[in-house]
A and B are shown apart, each in its own frame.
Chain A
Amino acid sequence: MRLTFDVNGVGQQADDVWPGESLLYVLRERMGLPGTKNACEQGECGSCSVYLDGTLVCACLVAAPQAQGRAVRTVEGLATDSAGGLDHIQQAFVETGAVQCGFCTPGLIMATDDLLANTPTPSDAEIREALAGNLCRCTGYEKILDAVRLAASRRTEVTP
């Protein structure tokens, strides 16, 4: 089948897609967007978090035909700075050292973006709940929580 959808604001088309492909596969292998990571393929690790029509989903659990006619936003589409700069959440992860091997980072950044969009000044409990399904096997999460707090404080400054 032919898949026509919007990826990070740009209309895209993929041919010979078969129903058994996941959205994750299409993004990584057909669209050349490797930022979204493939790990558990069971919806438990959060590494493949993307927005589908504005809803945070696991791309591994979305069959490719589900994306027909819809808008996908990946970690590559987070920064709006065309000069290649970082989004403020990405910048906060860098500054707090919340990245070690980096594999979980895109998913955590997408989940943080979703959290702050709905809850601009989250409590620690709200941060923990929002990120509960994003697994990191390196850092022990403390610096990730620091990054979310830093991003939240800056977001509050920017949009009072």
Chain B
Amino acid sequence: MPLPAFTLHRPRSAADAIALLDEDCLAYSGGTELLMAMRMGLIRPTALVDLKRIDELNTITLGADRLLIGAGASHDRVAGDALVAEHAALLATAERLVGNARVRAQGSIGGNICFAEPRSDVATVLVALDATVLLQSASSRRSVPATEFFLGPYWTAREPGELLTAISIPLPAPAGVYLKFQTVERPTVAVAAVALPEGGYRIVVGAVGDLPVSADYAQLTAVDAADLAARVEPVSDLTGSERYKRHVTEVFVRRAVAALAGGR
């Protein structure tokens, strides 16, 4: 079924793209979520801005104390990048597990988080890594922590005229594990467990509720899996009831803690 009519813009710079964006003119990168939502009639943009030919959105660079990942980089690109592997290996781990081979080849990391599907693998890990996102409009530029960027299902702090240009991960990024339980195309429960560089540990439970739930602990032994499972707000659906998902959450938090303690 063809999509409703729209105009396609193909700028070569981020500035030109940003000048075009508004409520009816949306950024188009991998299209794995956007075109689907358009086909289902959930959104009806009159114009799309193709970002794929903008090189500056596809770079991954190392700054003095941050790793900067261009929003247009595909999941495969991030998963296979040497800088990501060296400085933020947990993100590479999660990116290797996103969707399926075609989604990883087409979909971009920026598109993934702007769509804000609550079961995003990327979102869970970005919260664990204390990442911020860079939002740029024609008149302003701001940096928003991942925890403040995600506001709810399919809802972020990004304004219509803003383009998410890059994801910024502070270095050294914590090392850790990412475990998920998944029976369909997205996880039922995802858990990131990391050892924080300044000491202590962070557990982030994603996918099971509307937003990732994050908790920091001084000691790994202080992690209370049952407490975390009680704090998430699971959404009952075909992949399980609320009670079942709380159970799976508790099990996966325990497994993640054991894996982190075991150095895996």
Contact = CB atoms under 8 A, between A and B. Distances in A.
Is the A/B pair a real complex?
yes
B36 A42 contact: yes
Interface stretch (A8-16, A51-59, A71-79, A80-88): A51-59
Interface string B27-59: 010111001100100000000101010000000
A67 to B, nearest CB: 12
A61 B103 CA distance: 9
A18 B48 CA distance: 13
Contacts of B7: 19
A63 B47 CA distance: 13
Interface in A18-40: 18-22, 25
A60 B36 CA distance: 9
A105 interface: no
A22 B102 contact: no
B223 to A, nearest CB: 29
Contacts of B28: 63
B77 to A, nearest CB: 10
Contacts of B103: 43, 58, 133
B8 A63 contact: yes
Interface in A97-125: 111, 114-115
A49 B8 CA distance: 24
B3 A20 contact: yes
B35 A130 contact: no
Contact of B100 (A19, A20, A65, A132): A132
A108 to B, nearest CB: 12
Interface residues of B, number: 27
Nearest to B52: A66
Interface in B1-32: 1-8, 10, 28, 30-32
A68 B103 CA distance: 20
A22 B35 contact: yes
B185 interface: yes
Contact of A46 (B3, B5, B100): B100
Given A66-B50, A133-B185, A20 B106 contact: no
A20 B31 contact: no
Interface string B173-217: 000000000000100000000000000000000000000000000
A56 B30 CA distance: 13
B99 A133 contact: yes
A63 B4 CA distance: 12
A62 interface: yes
A62 B4 contact: no
B251 to A, nearest CB: 21
B105 interface: yes
Of A41, A58, A62, most B-chain CB atoms within 10 Å: A58
A46 B106 CA distance: 13
A55 B31 contact: no
A41 B102 contact: no
A44 interface: yes
A44 B7 CA distance: 26
B230 interface: no
Of A56, A114, A115, most B-chain CB atoms within 10 Å: A56
Interface of A: 18-22, 25, 41-44, 46, 49, 55-58, 60-63, 65-66, 111, 114-115, 130, 132-134
13 contacts: A20-B4, A21-B3, A25-B2, A41-B39, A42-B36, A43-B99, A43-B100, A46-B102, A49-B102, A57-B106, A58-B102, A65-B10, A66-B31
10 nearest interchain CB pairs? A133-B100, A20-B3, A19-B8, A58-B102, A20-B2, A55-B105, A42-B36, A61-B31, A57-B106, A43-B32
Given A22-B2, A43-B103, 9 more contacts: A19-B5, A19-B6, A19-B7, A19-B8, A44-B100, A56-B102, A58-B102, A61-B36, A63-B31
